[in-house]
Structure formats: C-alpha cells, structure tokens
A and B are shown apart, each in its own frame.
Chain A
C-alpha cells in the first residue's frame, strides 16, 4: 500500500508544466524548411510570444512589446540560443549570430572607449540593427548595458525585416 501511494505521489507531484500525455505527437525528423512568407505584425508577435513563453517559461501576459528579454523576462545566455532555434524554426529564417549580438562592434577598440560606445559605434549599431530601438541605449551607451536593451518589440521588428 505504501508503494502504491508513493507511485501516486510521483505522478501527481510533477511540476505544473508536465502533462499526462496520452497521444504523444508524432516525432518530426525533417530539418526546418527554408521558406519566406509575408506575415502581419500581429502574426509575427503571436509567434514570437509563443517562442518566448516556451523558451523562458514565462506567462503570455508578461511578454509585452516593451518587455526586455534579460531584465523583464529573465533570459540568460543559454536562453538566447533556444530563442534563436525557435524563431528559426517558426519563421523558416536563418539568424546569423552577429545580427542579434553585435559583439564585433562592442569589442572594437575604435568604436568603444572606456566601456562607452562612441557615436561612430552607435552609427554602426544602428546600421547593423535597423529594426532595434536604440534611443534608450544612446542616452547612456555603456557596453555592459547593451545585452539588457533588447525588447520583445525589437525581436518582432527583426523577424519582420527577415520575412518581409
């Protein structure tokens, strides 16, 4: 009887996101097909929201346009890899690393002085990432803050520029 109870506990005490699967979905073996389709802003937002909810374990209503990935949604570096995977799969696009993380600009000694991005560096960032809103960063362009500025809205803009 004790063992029966123990096994019951195992099944009912799993975290809330685990579900009792009666009909497991078929396992996919295809690589993502590369295709482009024109999507509306809302459609893009919905898919980005879904990817972020799955990758970061946050609720739908936390994923707003203005929410920052790192500060508000708690994304860590490994989560960015997961987010890139999910976006590539959801939209059939390729996301080269330097498009979302302009590390080469942020570590260029000609474009960064004493941890602050120069105006030339800002111009480079803007041309590399035209879909991102860099106004807030421009006020105090510290390299260490850059990772925290990316918002959900920026991601939606990025996907929009790749699927247009």
Chain B
C-alpha cells in the first residue's frame, strides 16, 4: 500500500532530530478532492507525515528492532492551510524515550513561516500482545527509506554516516 506523506528526508541525526519535506501537489487526489474547489493538504495528513518522520527517528534510535506505532496526538495546532504548490518543511525533534514508548515535538514551516505545531506520542508494540511478526513486508521499510533519501543524509550523534541495520537487512539481498 502506498502511504508516503513525506517526499524526502533532508536531515537526520540519530537520537536527536529528523527533517523532511512534503510537496503539496494538485496531482494528489486528496489535495484536490478533500474540499471541493479548495485544494489543500488535510491537516491529518500533515500529522501523518510528521508521524512518519518521528516514527523513523524513534525506530532508528532502537536500530529498527522495535515496532513503533503512533499512539497519541497530544497537541496539534495549524496556523495556516497547506495549499497546492506549497512545500512544507517538517522538523521533528526527539523529546523523550522510555521503555514503552517515546514522544516527539514536530513543527512544519512553509515559506519560512510556522505552519503547524504537533506533539506526538509513539508506543512500542510487544510481540504476541498486539501483533506477531513484522509491521512491514520484506524489504519494504528499507526500500521506503532509500527512496526517501534517508541513507544519504542520516548521521549518528557524532556526525558519521550511519551504517547498516541488521534488522533491515534480513530480507532481500
């Protein structure tokens, strides 16, 4: 299933922050069809894009070995709508990480102005309790990260490029 709500990672520092961008295009069915004659990217999908960035940030912090799901949107404020032709710049910062989950703070900027501010909470799924097996099909997560430019920008806290993740490599060669 195609479910990409960011176009690309622009920055990624392991355990600290992830930045990405989302282009809002008339070609997207949801932009054109959500609100008749008023193309806009629904705020819920802005939250989804931030959740994708944040979820990867949290999951990478655990070497992609934990299954991370969005659990709660604690706060979400939208200061202006996202219109066709806009380029949204998301910045997601890791707030805290505990045994059972993590929280992140996310902001969205458009044309240099603050467009949205969202706080998200993620939970780590326990095997056998809610799910058995992986959340992604074999190779899907790694492919998605590669398409989104993750491996080109991701660095660890010392600025060195991230290496391989065993948890991502056990599927296709």
Contacts and interface: CB of A to CB of B under 8 A. Distances in A.
Main secondary structure of the interface of A (DSSP, over half): helix
B71 A32 contact: no
A123 interface: no
Contacts of A38: none
Contacts of A164: none
B19 to A, nearest CB: 12
Contact of A81 (B71, B75, B95, B105): B71
A91 to B, nearest CB: 13
Interface centre among A18, A27, A31 (most CB of B within 10 A): A27
A27 B105 contact: yes
A24 B35 CA distance: 29
B94 to A, nearest CB: 7
B96 A85 contact: yes
A88 B100 CA distance: 12
A136 interface: no
Contact of B107 (A24, A54, A85, A89): A24
A60 to B, nearest CB: 18
A97 B71 contact: no
Contact of A78 (B17, B72, B95, B103): B72
Contacts of B103: 85
Interface in B49-107: 71-72, 74-81, 91, 93-101, 103, 105, 107
A34 to B, nearest CB: 12
Interface string A22-42: 001001110110000000000
Interface string A1-36: 001001100110010011111001001110110000
A82 B78 contact: no
Contacts of B95: 28
A84 interface: yes
A39 to B, nearest CB: 20
A21 B71 contact: no
In which size bucket is the chain B interface?
A: 20 to 34
B167 interface: no
B97 A29 contact: no
Interface residues of A, number: 28
A3 B117 CA distance: 24
A21 B77 contact: yes
A81 B100 contact: yes
A31 B96 contact: yes
B165 interface: no
B98 A88 contact: yes
Given A20-B79, A21-B79, A21-B114, A85 B101 contact: yes
Interface string A53-86: 0110000000000000000000000110110110
Interface of B: 16-17, 35, 38, 71-72, 74-81, 91, 93-101, 103, 105, 107, 114, 117, 121, 123
What 7 A-B pairs come out closest when comparing CB atoms? A18-B77, A27-B93, A27-B105, A10-B81, A78-B71, A6-B38, A81-B101
